[in-house]
Structures are given as C-alpha cells and as structure tokens.
C-alpha cells in the first residue's frame, strides 16, 4: 500500500502514457482493480505517515492491519495527522504485544481520546456509509459501462480526489501548472526521471 501511494505521489502513470493512476495500476499489477486502488493509496498514505514519525517500520511492517489503517485514515481526514498519530499510539497501548491494531481498536482509541461532546459519530457513520456505497457503486460500474466510459469516469474521480485540500496546496498546484505551461519544469522533470532510473 505504501509503495502504491509512493507511485501515485510520483505520478508514475504519466510516464507510461496514462492519465488515470488507478487504471494504470489495474493494468500493471495482477489482482488490483480500479475500485481498490484509491482505498489502498489512502491506507498507504497513513502507513507512510506512521513510518515518517517512526511509529512503524515499513521495512518490517507489523502492528497494524488494513482495517486499522483505513480507520486511521478516517481519523486523519477529520482531525489531522497529529491526532491520527495520537490515536495510533493510544490504540497500540490497548493491544497485547505482537497483536495488530484493527479498525475496532482504532475506534475504541478515538472514543477514549475524544470527549463524547467532540466525537461526531454521525460523521464517522456517514463516512463508513459513503465508503460502502462507493464499493457497491463501483461493483456496478465495473460491469455496467464500456471501457471508454469507465476510463472517463475514472478520470473525473481522480481529478476530484486530487483537488487541493488547502489554500497553500492550491497555490502550489497553480504555480506548478504555470511552470509546466511555460516549460519551466522541464529540467526538474528530467532530473526526477534520471534519478529514478
């Protein structure tokens, strides 16, 4: 999951002529479907964040399972990465040594850390419902539409997922776009490509 997220962040799919990362991942890796890629990348971003904070070691990943990473991604989305790391540390203290942190453990840690007045269970339930609906819609979408229509739908989804979340990110994205329009990013792109060989 972390490696997949690194590939997405590096926009590696563009080097292979794809405009859609999820479609590239599906075509490149056995067993991956377009619908799974987004969830895997979201969990991967949490794994990378925990590794960066030295709370887990991605070279020998132990201590948190996929459901735990998903639940932590919900916490990060609502409260930010600092609170997510605090939830992880609390959840880690709630399990026996050698056991993995699951989604249930993360939810218990969140309830422990957040006073009842601040825990918006409706938001958590709504996000879980949205994910369930997305998975259901995606199953229909996988079989109902042609490849061309699915590609266009994936492009729209990718664009919506990658919208900047803050004013600073929007400014940075705008500056990058300007640099690309005026060919100012060519040297940096070439350096990045050569550095990954």
pLDDT digits (tens), the chain, 197 positions: 888 889 988 989 888 888 888 889 888 988 888 778 888 888 888 999 999 999 888 888 777 888 888 889 888 888 889 999 999 999 988 888 888 888 888 888 888 887 655 556 666 666 666 666 656 555 554 556 677 777 777 667 666 655 666 666 677 777 777 777 776 555 555 554 555 44
Q: Read off φ and ψ for residue 185, nearest 5 degrees.
A: -95, 0
Q: Where are the domains of the chain?
A: 2-128
Residue with tokens 């990045």: 192
**What is the value of pTM for the model shown?**
0.55
Interatomic CA distance for residues 79 and 86, integer angstroms? 11
Question: HSE-up of 3 (CA within 13 Å, CB side)?
Answer: 5
Interatomic CA distance for residues 131 and 113, integer angstroms? 24
Q: Can you give the pLDDT at residue 4? A: 87
Q: Can you give the pLDDT at residue 86? A: 92
């Amino acid at each position: 999951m972390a490696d997949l997220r690194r590939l997405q962040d590096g926009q590696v799919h563009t080097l292979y002529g794809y405009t859609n990362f999820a479609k590239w991942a599906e075509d490149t890796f056995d067993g991956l479907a377009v619908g799974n890629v987004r969830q895997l990348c979201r969990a991967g971003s949490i794994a990378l964040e925990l590794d960066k904070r030295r709370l887990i070691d991605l070279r020998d990943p132990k201590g948190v399972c996929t459901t735990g990473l998903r639940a932590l991604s919900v916490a990060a989305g609502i409260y930010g990465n600092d609170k997510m790391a605090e939830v992880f540390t609390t959840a880690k203290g709630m399990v026996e040594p050698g056991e993995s942190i699951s989604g249930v453990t993360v939810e218990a840690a969140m309830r422990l850390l957040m006073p009842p007045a601040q825990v918006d269970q409706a938001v958590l339930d709504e996000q879980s419902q949205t994910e369930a609906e997305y998975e259901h819609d995606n199953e229909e979408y996988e079989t109902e539409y042609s490849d061309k229509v699915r590609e266009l739908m994936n492009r729209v989804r990718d664009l919506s997922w990658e919208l900047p979340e803050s004013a600073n990110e929007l400014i940075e994205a705008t500056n990058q776009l300007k640099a690309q329009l005026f060919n100012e990013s060519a040297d940096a792109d070439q350096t990045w490509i050569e550095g990954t060989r």
